[in-house]
Amino acid sequence: MTASAILVMMLAILSGNGDVLPNEWRDAKTGHQIIRLSDPSISSQTLYFHQNCFTESGDALVFVGSTAEGRSAFTMNIRTREIRRIAPGVSFEVLAPKRRELFYFTGNKARSTHLDTMQTRDIAEVPAEYGSGRGLSVNADETLLLGCYAQGELEFWRQHPVKSLKDLYKYGEKAMLDAKLPNALYTIDIATGEVREIHKENLWFGHPQFSPTNPCQIEFCHEGPERLLDRMWLIKTDGSGYQKVFSSPCRRTFVTHEFWDPRGTDVWFDLQIPRARGHLGFVTYVIGPRAYLAKTDVSSGETVKYRLPLHCRSWHYNISRDGSLLCGDGEGRFFSIGPSGRWIYLYSIQDGKMKIERLGDMSKHSYSIAPNTHITPDNNWVVFTSDMSGLSQVYAVEITKPSQTKGSS
């Protein structure tokens, strides 16, 4: 056996602390089945939490991994689990599920690769600064791409380096917000390659997302320390209709990691309200804020909040294609008093309240990378990233199990 083959075998069976970690196992704490989907020889991750990673028919999954040719995109056949690398050197990747095309940046090119034929074509040439921004998103009729960028962002981070997520949260986000760099939202016409900057402000833009049903409707955020911002905003592709999604009930309210409901009617988000309204205070610091998974109707502005126990919060949430289930990747970035929040969670609304179930134990995940959960189109699995084996891998945990007696909160 060659040295490389031995390395692959060891990565496949050993976790970072030497515990046996087979390619399939039943979680000892929850009873749910977990399988590894990615190649154990390379570092792999799911797409960002609000980026769709499944084809319309649900037959293929897209994920990314580190290769000798840089960050590469892969597909996995859901039925056979066959993995194919379809494109090297990708960033800002987004899948158009009906077209079965992956759109991404490589250098200063917007490019697409077809998942089945692997035919690759250039869509447009883009300014170099677009590559330091955020995106992409594809609209409902799969004719436009969407992204955003900050002019001078690369130079800003050279002058204000952050070495960890802790540094970013502690001072990086506030410094970037205070810099008031010129930011812009832009669209790219997939057919013609036309690039249009539709909205500009001296604020930090992020999370640009097209509505899943209205091809002209955009939601994006003002990035920065979440307690200091009105975060979520709507705008149309022609630059009209610029308006706030949600008004905070009091100062120091925390809003983050928003995503569309699949019906296009609401925007979901992580909502945390100080216990002493308007003030963080000692009590909030010690036992945490009041936490909710909330949604706001984009037409009426009505907001519905679902209370969550603090240990059942997640770094990112997501929703199933039919809107019946939500999932989350738990929370392990910060010290907290009380039960561990290091779980893959399943959420469902029953009688107006949020029912919560633990699907997978994430106690060995570092939370230096986000698990970024996704529910499969058939509602049978939650796909996620974890470095529980030492090297980040793509896994799936089964939603159902023989007995539903364990893992509920």
Query: Residue 332 is which amino acid?
Result: G
Alpha-carbon distance of 227 to 320, in angstroms, equals 28
CA 93 to chain centre: 12
Alpha-carbon distance of 214 to 265, in angstroms, equals 10
Q: Are 310 and 288 in contact (CB under 8 A)?
A: yes
Token pair belonging to 115? 């998942």
Query: Strand order of the sheet with strand 183-189?
Result: 134-138, 144-150, 183-189, 195-201
Alpha-carbon distance of 377 to 216, in angstroms, equals 25
Sign of the CA dihedral with 384 first, then 385, 387, and 393 last: positive
Report residue 11's pLDDT band, with 50, 70 and 90 as the boundaries: very low
User: pLDDT tens digits, residue range 365-395?
Assistant: 999 999 999 999 999 999 999 999 999 999 9
Alpha-carbon distance of 47 to 62, in angstroms, equals 8
Q: Supply the DSSP string of 173-214, one letter for each residue.
A: HHHHHHHT--EEEEEEETTT--EEEEEEESS-EEEEEE-SS-
User: pLDDT tens digits, residue range 93-119?
Assistant: 999 999 999 999 999 999 999 999 999
What pLDDT, on a 0 to 100 scale, did the predictor assign at position 211?
98
Alpha-carbon distance of 359 to 340, in angstroms, equals 14
Q: Are 303 and 294 in contact (CB under 8 A)?
A: yes
Report residue 292's pLDDT band, with 50, 70 and 90 as the boundaries: very high
